Amino acid sequence: MKRVHNFSAGPAVLPLEVLKKAQEELPSYGDTGTSIMEQSHRGKAYSQIDAEAKERLNRILGLDDKFHILFLQGGASQQFMQVPYNLLGDDETADYIDTGRWSAKAITEAEIFGKVHVPFSSADDNYTHVPTSADQLDLTEGAKYVHITSNNTVVGTQLPTEPETNGVPLVCDASSDFLSRPIDVDKYGIIYAGAQKNLGPAGVTVVLVNKEFIKGQADRDIPTLLDYTTHTEKIFNTPPTFAVYMVNLVLEWVEEKGGLDYFQKVNNQKAELLYSTIDSDDFYRGTAKLDSRSKMNVTFRLPSEELEAQFLAEAAKHDLVALKGHRSVGGVRASIYNACPMESVQALVDFMKQFRSENG
């Protein structure tokens, strides 16, 4: 069985141990005689999986049962709309920190439902940096919430920690760095994440809703399926059962490895190895400013677009795949999420050194 070094930004690499376990259980889950994909979402087997996944998330993040854990569909893109639909009244203001392509899309959706203030934007600087201190933020007094995108896959930037909001709840699109490091959950009203980068296969979106925060729901009629409260106490409609099953296996793997402290340490090591190679001379050039660099998506350029095309072609021959930068910015992007092993990063670094020696 061939496995390449996969640096896809999403859907992304999954732990090999998880894939093998899923492979073993695919024809028959436990002693049921059927695949989990073939079973009722109301049945005992899936109900146990759903409960286990939520219990594991509660433990891993230290949620202390303060959050409803929802497995929804529609990706983060649906949450761009669903958050303000549920929580932002017509005459209320939410602050949206603008650090990239996805936060800009979230702003567009939120403006449909209420007032939006942008306390920080790096759009004029091609989104190469994020706010790293409180004095960079022009926050609204009495804002309903402050929306952040914790990691920006396209440009390779990441908030180093939660911004100081003076007690205003954070709403976070954590799709691309979810479970990569510890967070202060008490600062959050909602955390949402598409699973396909750091948590599982495409098809399910994890939404964590603070039980106190949801009490401040907007005064408007919300369609049943889009109302968070519809999903807080029960499985309302058929969820993506196989995707949730895979999420549960990934969460089991996260716990077995040592939880968020372990992954923060390893992710720091992988990023340091890769960035130190980029910074060793001027052949490779990191595109994000030093204090804003992502530990999940490492973006860089070569001296010319022709060399970049050659780099990508030769990398593929060395089984280093999915390194092409996002179509909107070009360049090279290595996504090194939790499941990307150190061996893959080392293989990429070795190739980068060889390519530089032959073409520098």
| Active-site residue list | 102, 173, 197
Is 311:291 a contact under the CB 8 Å cutoff?
no
CATH number for the domain that contains residue 206: 3.40.640.10
Shared domain for 279 and 160, answered yes or no, is: no
What is the predicted pLDDT for the residue at 1? 81
Asked whether residue 10 is domain-assigned, the answer is no
Residue 172: domain span: 16-257
User: Strand pairing of 151-152 and 146-149?
Assistant: unpaired
From the CB of residue 157, how many other CB atoms can be counted at a distance below 10 Å?
A: 25
Shared domain for 247 and 295, answered yes or no, is: no
Q: The tokens of 214 are what?
A: 């949801």
Shared domain for 252 and 304, answered yes or no, is: no
Residues of the chain with pLDDT under 50: none
Residue 237 annotated in ligand binding: yes
* Domain closes at, from 257, 292, 323: 257
262-298: per-residue pLDDT in tens?
A: 999 999 999 999 999 999 999 999 999 999 999 999 9
What is the predicted pLDDT for the residue at 202? 95
This prediction has a pTM of 0.96
Rounded CA-CA distance 60/258 in Å is: 9
What is the predicted pLDDT for the residue at 233? 84
Is 166:139 a contact under the CB 8 Å cutoff?
yes
Residue 335 annotated in ligand binding: no
The residues facing 69 across adjacent strands are: 208
The one-letter amino acid at 254: V
Shared domain for 237 and 89, answered yes or no, is: yes
Q: What is the CA radius of gyration of the chain?
A: 21
State how many domains the chain has: 2
88-129: per-residue pLDDT in tens?
A: 999 999 999 999 999 999 999 999 999 999 999 999 999 999
Q: The tokens of 236 are what?
A: 């309302």
Rounded CA-CA distance 360/350 in Å is: 15
Residue 76 annotated in ligand binding: yes
- CA-nearest of 198, 200, 205, 208 to 296 is 198
Shared domain for 285 and 300, answered yes or no, is: yes
Residue 175 annotated in ligand binding: no
What is the predicted pLDDT for the residue at 353? 98
Residue 65 annotated in ligand binding: no
What is the predicted pLDDT for the residue at 328? 85
Shared domain for 71 and 119, answered yes or no, is: yes
